[in-house]
Structure 1
Amino acid sequence: MLATLKSYLDSIKARDPAPRSRWEILLYPGVLAVGMHRVAHWLFEANLFFLARFVNHTARFLTAIDIHPGAKIGRNLFIDHGFTVIGETAEIGDNVTIYQCVTLGGTNPANGIAGKRHPTLEDGVILGSGAQVLGPITVGKRARVGANAVVTRDVPEGAVMVGIPAKPTLVDVTEYQKGFVPYGTPCSDVFDPATQKLELMKCEIETMQKRIAELMVERDAAREDREQRDRA
């Protein structure tokens, strides 16, 4: 039990440069919210719905994070700051990072039956601040959702989604191979959500410049081939 807790706290420290010790991480609202959710989910699975809801509302009051007792959460979930909502049928894999003001929201079932209506996040997903992931969709492993993006369709593994509605953006392979990128964004290691549009434009320009350079090289090579054939 103690080893599991230490592993969890270390996983958060690896993703957040702010804490100086494990003790400090224990004060994080996200850690308290996830811990209380474990209790609420156990009560929910035992059909003790009132008690599960009581724990859930207590956690929301203390942390400003609302995780429905029915949500299924894997290992090492890191909710950075608060004001996050996770719906009843949401499923979250291992080592997922969620920043502030994120919603894993549901859709209104037309038949009135409460089936799977919230998202599934696979291992290693990063959701930037203000992201809204809605409906019974799947966000693939290591996918990143940028700040304030609205996702309503399945996200492929390793994709980076930005915009409203969210669309994939090109990411260099060296960026994809990084173990963790703060805020789920592809452009810089140190990222300020207030400058998201500028960072994304910079990233797109750099990608276009690389592509133009490649096309120019291809054009020059083709021109040399034609000249060589003409001389022959």
Structure 2
Amino acid sequence: MFQTARSILKRDPAAHNLLEVILTYPGLRALFWYRIAHFLVMRRFFTLASLISQHAAHVTGISIAPEAQIGKRVFIDHGIGVVIGATAIVEDDVTILHGVTLGARKLAGGIRHPRVEHGAFIGANAQILGNITIGAFSKVGAGAIVLADVPPKATAVGNPARIVGTPGKKVIEVNFTKQKS
């Protein structure tokens, strides 16, 4: 927990000190409760794990299924409305903003939720759905609806999400200033 809190302190310019992060960041508290629930699920205490998960969701506004696999130093910023499904995998050093869903598209068994690889950044209210991969160090823009894989170090935006930037290729910039007709 302290490793994650120190990581948050480095990544969040609004954080003033370690004590503030530990006491006031709901994402950190949700991950604390998730780790307990995950420990219990791995030992087949499903009901107790579910109760702890529901308590954490009620207190923090962040719903993380106890079966999900969450790496180290994950930063859930603000957090309200974040949902992480049971078969989701979130690797180390990922940043997730508020309103993000790592959800399923089908009710069938097997892996139904996304994998978010090391160092990825997921913008506010992004919906990442299905058994897809968000590549290492990639970025998903706010409000994007991602239904297909995002390659490593790429940027995906829109509905449905499309790749707008990849390493070695120029990003097309849009000028939103009013043009003369």
Structure having greater relative contact order (Cα 8 Å, sep ≥ 6): 2
8 Å CA contact retained: 2:154, 2:167: no
Q: What is the aligned partner in structure 1 of residue 87 from structure 2? A: 89
| Aligned partner of 1:47 among 36, 44, 54 | 44
| Aligned partner of 1:66 among 55, 63, 66 | 63
Distance 2:114 2:52 in 1: 23
Equivalences for residues 1-232 of structure 1 within 5 A: 5-26=1-22, 27-81=24-78, 82-109=80-107, 112=108, 114-170=109-165, 201-202=174-175
Which blocks of at least 5 consecutive residues in structure 1 are unaligned?
176-185, 188-199, 206-232
**Secondary structure, in 3 states, of the residue corresponding to 1:30?**
helix
Number of positions where the alignment pairs a residue of Structure 1 with one of Structure 2: 174
Q: 1:170 offset after TM fit, Å?
A: 2.8
Structure 1 range deviating more: 139-148 or 14-23:
14-23
8 Å CA contact retained: 2:70, 2:89: yes
More strand by share: 2
> Runs ≥4 in structure 1, deviation > 2 angstroms?
170-173
More helix by share: 1
Q: 1:201 offset after TM fit, Å?
A: 2.2
Which structure: larger Rg? 1
- Identity, in percent, stands at 40
Question: Structure 1 counterpart of 2:95, which letter?
Answer: T
Question: Structure 1 counterpart of 2:160, which letter?
Answer: P
Question: Structure 2 counterpart of 1:8, which letter?
Answer: T
TM norm structure 2: 0.90
Q: 1:171 offset after TM fit, Å?
A: 5.6
Which blocks of at least 5 consecutive residues in structure 2 are unaligned?
none
TM norm structure 1: 0.71
